[in-house]
Structure 1
Amino acid sequence: MKILGNVIKYGDNVDTDVIIPARFLNTNIVEEYSKHCMEDIDKDFLKKLNRGDMIVAGKNFGCGSSREHAPVSLKAVGVSCIIAKSFARIFYRNSINIGFPIFECEQAVDAIEEGNKVRVNFKSGVIENLTNNEKYQAQQFPEFAINMIENDGLINCFKNGNF
C-alpha cells in the first residue's frame, strides 16, 4: 500500500499533551476531542491539514503519557502517517495497535521540508520525496504489523480472523 500526501513538519519532542491536550479528554467521543488535535503546538494544524497529509518530525515524537488518544486523534483527523527520527516506544506501539503507520528515518526527516509531496510504501519502507525526487529507506514493518495496518488495527485483526 502506498500513501501520498503533503508534509506538515515539526521538531523534536512533540509530546502527547500537545498532540491532544488532556483538558479535552473529558469525552470518549473521538470526533469531539480530535477537534483540538495539535492546537497547543500549531493552532492552524486542522486548517492546513488535508486528509491524507502526513507529519514529519524530529526525535522522540509522541513522548509523554501512554494515552492512546494521541495517535487515535491524529488518525481520526486524516493524518495518513508520521515519519520521524524516533518515536517514544509507547506511542509507537499504540500507533501500530490502531493500524496507524509510522516510520523512523533520520535521512528523510533531514531532507523533507514542510509542504513537500511525499509517497510512502508502508510494506517496503521506501519514502519518496516527489518534490525533490529523492528516496529514503525506512525500516520495513514485520508481517504482523503490516497485518494490523491493513486491518485498521489489532482489534479488527481479531474480529476479522486475521491472526
Structure 2
Amino acid sequence: MIIKGKAHVYGDNIDTDRIIPGKYTKTLDMQQLANHVLEDIDPDFHKIVQPGDILVAGENFGCGSSREQAPLALKSAGISLVVAHSFARIFFRNAINIGLPLIELRKYDIKSADTLEINIKTGVVNNINNGESYQGAQMPDVMVKILNENGLVKYLKNHKSYS
C-alpha cells in the first residue's frame, strides 16, 4: 500500500485533546469532528487539509486519553496517514483499528507542504521535494492487512477464522 500526499508538520506531545477537543467528542457526526480537528494548534487546519494529506508530528503523538475520536477526527478530515517520531500506544492501536495508517520515523527533514510518498508495508518514506528517503518502522503483516481492509471490524468480518 503506497500513500502519497501533502505534509502538514506539527510538534511534540500533541495529545488527544489537542487533536479533537473533548467538548466535540459527544457527537457521532464525523463531519463535525473533522471541522474541529487540531483547532487548538491550527484554527485553520480544517480549511486547508485536503483528502489524502499526511500529518507529520514529533514525539509522543496521541498521548492523553484513550478516546477513539482522535484518530476518527483525523481520518474524517481527510488525513490518509500520520508520521511521527513516536506514538502513544493506545492512540496507535486505535488508529489501526479504525484504518488510519501510522509510520514511526525517528529522523526526517520534512516541511509543511512537502509531498510525501509512503510505503506502509516497508515503512519507507520518500520526500518528493528534497529527494530524501527515510526508513521508518515496518508495520507487522497483520496490521497491514487490517489497514488494507480499512479497519479491524471489516478485517474480522472478512476473516472468520481469526483466533
Q: TM-score range by the shorter chain?
A: over 0.9
Shift of 1:27: 1.5
The match for 1:149 is 147
Shift of 1:69: 0.3
Identity of aligned residues (%): 45
Please list, as runs of the form range in 1=range in 2, the aligned pairs for 1:12-161 lying within 5 A after superposition.
12-108=12-108, 111-161=109-159
Shift of 1:31: 2.2
Shift of 1:159: 1.5
Return 5+ residue gaps in structure 2 as ranges.
none
- Cα separation, 2, equivalents of 1:107 and 1:13: 16
Moved over 3 A (4+): none
TM-score (normalizing by structure 1) = 0.95
Return 5+ residue gaps in structure 1 as ranges.
none
**RMSD of aligned C-alpha atoms?**
1.1
Shift of 1:30: 2.0
Shift of 1:152: 0.5
Shift of 1:26: 2.3
Q: How many residues align?
A: 161
In structure 2, what residue type is equivalent to 1:46? H
Cα-to-partner distance string for 1:34-58 (whole Å, 9 max, x where unaligned): 2211111110101111110101111
Shift of 1:29: 2.3
- Cα separation, 2, equivalents of 1:140 and 1:26: 34
